[in-house]
Amino acid sequence: MNKKIIQLIIIFFIFLVLINFKSVLKKFYPIYYKNTINKYAIKYELDPYLIYSLIKAESNFKLYAISNKGAIGLMQITPGTGAYIARLLGDKNFSKDMLFNPEINIKYGCFYLSKLFNDFNGNLDCVLAAYNAGEGNVRKWLKDNKNEARLKTDKIPFNETKRYIKKVKQNYRIYNYIY
């Protein structure tokens, strides 16, 4: 008798999960910093779900995240890249601690993504590879592939970057499905 009750409870639980599937997924794929992300998505002509997807992959929305390579904050911007972005934006007095400010981190990350989209003719794989491995590496990979317009992800020599592209694109599909 207990076995049948347990089976019924399991079936009922599965039924509840299926009915509330999107609600369950929202717990794993949240939307935080919505106003800030929407503001800079509009300003830099980006899809906000791509920004959520990138942040999910980079820091899992942990504001004070620091990578083993020194990348900081939600969008995991290195101090060197942050200084570069600050120069391009004309922001004076840049310091790496500014990257812990969600407004600045998201602004810089979105600006940089927009720049990469322009530099790589809207090619999402190139943009994500450049965000992860650097613009110079992507330019070299494109050159090595005879300047093909599309980056062949199987030709990327960095496994981390291959996984990164796959992860962000998977997150992007899920965010678009849920929301």
Domains: count for the chain: 1
Above 90 in pLDDT, residue 179? yes
Residue 102 lies in a domain: yes
Domain presence at residue 165:
yes
Q: Quick check: is 149 in a domain?
A: yes
User: Residues with catalytic annotation?
Assistant: 58
Which of the residue ranges 5-14, 101-110, 148-157 would you say has the lowest mean pLDDT? 148-157
pLDDT score for 17: 66
CA nearest to 116, candidates 143, 90, 95, 88: 88
Tokens of 84: 């570069």
| pLDDT of amino acid 147 | 57
Give me the CATH number covering residue 155: 1.10.530.10
CA separation, residue 118 to residues 33, 44, 127, 174 (Å): 25, 11, 9, 25
- Residue 5 falls inside a structural domain: no
Q: Report pTM.
A: 0.87
Does residue 2 lie in a domain region?
Answer: no
Domain with 48, as residue range(s), is 22-178
User: Which DSSP string corresponds to 115-154?
Assistant: HHHHHTTT-HHHHHHHHHH-HHHHHHHHHHTTT-SS--GG
Percent of the chain with pLDDT over 90: 77
Residue 170 lies in a domain: yes
Longest Cα pair distance anywhere in the chain, in angstroms?
A: 72
Residue 17 domain-assigned (yes or no): no
pLDDT, tens digit, 9 for 90 and up, residues 50-92: 999 999 999 999 999 999 999 999 999 999 999 999 999 999 9
At 148 the pLDDT is: 60
Does the pLDDT value for residue 108 go beyond 90?
A: yes
Look at residue 157 and tell me if it is in a domain.
Answer: yes
